[in-house]
Amino acid sequence: MRRILNIVALGAIIVAGIGTYAVNGEQNQDDWMLHVDSNEAVWKNRAVRLSATDMDQSGQDVEVSIEGSRFVNGSYIDEVMQYRSDIGGQDRSFARALKQLNYAQQIKTEDGYVAIGQKGQDTLVLLQSRDGNMVERTEFPNVQSIVDSGWGGMFVYDGTVHIVYNENYELTNQHVAVLDVATTTIDTKKIERDGVLIEYVMGETWGFALGDGQRTTIGKDNRYIPIQATRLETVEADDGEAYSEHMSLSGLYVYDVEENRVVSLDVEQEAIATNVFGDTYQALLADGTETNINLKTLTETSRTIIQDEVGTASYYDGLLYHVSPTEDGAKVDVYDGADLVSEATVTGKEVNPDSFQYYVY
Amino acid sequence: MNLLKLIGWELDRVKKIYGLLLGVLITIQFGWLAVFLWRNTVLNEEYRREGQSLLVVFHSYLMSTPYILSIGIGLIVMLVFSGWIWYREFWGRGTFMMRLLTLPTKRIQLFISKFITIMMMILGLIAVQWFALVIEYQIFTTWLDGQGIRQQDTFADIRQLDVFSLLYPTSFVNFIIHVMLIAFVVLTIFTFVLVERSLWQRTIFSPLVSIALIGGVLAIPSTIFYVIEQYLFMDELALILVIGFLFSVATLTIIARQYLQKKLSV
Q: Which residues of A130-148 are buried (b: 16+ CB within 10 A; e: fewer)?
A: eebeebeebebeebeebbe
Q: How far apart are CA B55 and CA B100, in angstroms?
A: 58
Per-residue pLDDT at A355 exceeds 70: no
Q: Tell whether A10 is within 8 A of chain B (Cβ).
A: yes
Q: What is the pLDDT of residue A38?
A: 84
Asked if A60 and B134 come within 8 Å (Cβ–Cβ), the reply is no
pLDDT at A25 over 70: no
DSSP codes of every residue in A104-118: EEEEEETTEEEEEEE
pLDDT, mean of residues A171-197: 88
CA distance B187 to B207: 16
Residues with Cβ < 8 Å from A51, sequence gap 6 or more?
A: A61, A356, A357, A359
Max avg pLDDT among A138-142, A208-212, B150-154:
A138-142
- CB-CB: which of B8, B131, B231 is closest to A3? B8
Tell me whether residue A17 is in a domain: no
Burial (CB < 10 A; 0-12, 13-18, 19+), residue B99, is: exposed
Amino acid at A248: S
Helices vs. strands in chain A: H and E counts, helices first: 4, 28
Considering only A24-33, A75-84, B51-60, B147-156, which range has the smallest mean pLDDT?
A: A24-33
Task: For B131-141, write each residue's pLDDT tens digit.
Answer: 999 899 989 98
- Read off the pLDDT of residues A30-40 as tens digits, 9 standing for 90 and up: 677 888 888 88
Hey, how many other C-beta atoms are within 10 angstroms of the C-beta on A38?
11
Nearest Cβ partner for A100 among B129, B172, B230: B230
Q: Is the pLDDT of residue A56 over 80?
A: no
**Res. A161 pLDDT band, cuts 50 70 90:** very high
Our measurement of the distance from residue B187's CA atom to the centroid of its chain's CA atoms, rounded to an integer in Å, reads 12
Confidence (pLDDT) at A24: 65
Please give the single-letter amino acid code of residue A121: Q
Contacts of A82 in chain B (CB under 8 A): none
Contact B233 A16 (CB under 8 A): no
**CB–CB of A80 and B152 under 8 A?**
no
Q: What ipTM describes this predicted complex?
A: 0.84
Is A178 part of any domain? yes
Which three-class secondary structure state does DSSP give residue A283? strand
Order the strands of the A68-71 sheet from edge to edge.
A68-71, A62-65, A48-52, A356-360
Distances (CA, A) of A17 to A103, A311, B78: 47, 44, 18
Evaluate whether residue A142 is within a structural domain: yes
In a domain, residue A204? The reply is yes
The residue ranking higher by pLDDT, B7 or A168, is B7
| Mean pLDDT of all residues in B29-53 | 90
Supply the pLDDT for residue B22.
94
- Mean pLDDT (whole number) for B140-157: 81
CA B10, CA B113: separation in Å to the nearest integer?
A: 8
Q: Which of A194-208, B2-16, B26-40, B53-67 has the highest mean pLDDT?
A: B26-40
> Are the CB atoms for A149 and A167 separated by under 8 Å?
yes
- Helices marked H in chain B — which ranges? 2-49, 58-62, 65-87, 95-101, 107-147, 162-167, 172-199, 206-228, 234-258
The answer to the question of residue A107 being in a domain is yes
Confidence label for A54 from pLDDT (cuts 50, 70 and 90):
low
> Where are the alpha helices (H) located in chain A, listed in sequence order?
2-24, 76-86, 92-99, 144-147
Residue A203: alpha-carbon gap to chain centroid: 8
Handedness of CA B101, B103, B104, B106 (dihedral sign): negative
Residue B129 Rama label (left phi>0; alpha psi -120 to 50; beta): alpha
Q: What is the DSSP letter of A211?
A: -
CB-CB neighbors (< 8 A) of B120 in chain A: 7, 10-11, 14
The count of domains in chain A is 1
Give B167 to chain A, closest Cα distance, Å. Answer: 10
The predicted pLDDT at position A93 comes to 84
Structure confidence by residue, pLDDT tens digits, A233-286: 888 888 888 888 888 888 899 999 999 889 888 777 888 888 898 899 999 988
CB pairs < 8 Å spanning A and B: 117
**DSSP bridge partners of A197:** A230
* Average pLDDT estimate for A67-83: 81
Q: What is the DSSP letter of A32?
A: -
Is residue A253 in some structural domain? yes
Distance, in angstroms, between B266 CA and closest chain A CA? 27
More confidently predicted of B156 and A44: A44
CA–CA distance, A123 with A11 (Å, rounded to integer): 61
The answer to whether the Cβ–Cβ distance between A99 and B8 falls below 8 Å is no
* Residue A69 near residue A62, CB atoms below 8 Å: yes
pLDDT at A213: 54
What confidence score (pLDDT) does residue A55 get?
47
Residue B113: closest C-alpha in chain A: A7
